[in-house]
């Protein structure tokens, strides 16, 4: 079992090394990196925007839950 894991890790390391070598040490790789950079920046902005949206939604849900608990608490004491 360990031999299979060792070979898998070795192969994965070699593939990652080859990909990085291509991206950083060849003209084609540099061109690819430069063409991908704006897309990665756009994706990063979208992820940040999504995170802010989720945080706002969580805050609204928390406020609503708190109001509901307060309203239910007041209702119980009236009866």
CA–CA distance, 45 with 12 (Å, rounded to integer) = 30
Is the full-model pTM beyond 0.95?
Answer: no
Examine the pLDDT at 79 and tell me if it is beyond 60. no
Count of domains observed in the chain: 1
CA–CA distance, 61 with 18 (Å, rounded to integer) = 47
Say what the pLDDT of residue 26 is. 97
Examine the pLDDT at 11 and tell me if it is beyond 60. yes
Kindly report, residue by residue over 37-51, the tens digit of the pLDDT: 999 999 999 999 999
Say what the pLDDT of residue 1 is. 67
Say what the pLDDT of residue 20 is. 96
Supply the DSSP symbol for 21.
H
Instruction: Give the mean pLDDT of 23-42.
Output: 95
Q: By residue range, what is the domain housing residue 62?
A: 2-78
């Amino acid at each position: 079992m360990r031999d299979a894991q060792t070979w898998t890790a070795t192969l994965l390391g070699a593939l990652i090394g080859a990909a990085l070598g291509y991206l950083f040490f060849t003209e084609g790789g540099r061109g690819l990196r430069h063409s991908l950079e704006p897309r990665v920046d756009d994706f990063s902005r979208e992820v940040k925007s999504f995170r802010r949206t989720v945080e706002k939604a969580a805050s609204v849900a928390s406020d609503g839950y708190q109001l509901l608990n307060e309203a239910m608490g007041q209702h119980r004491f009236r009866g």
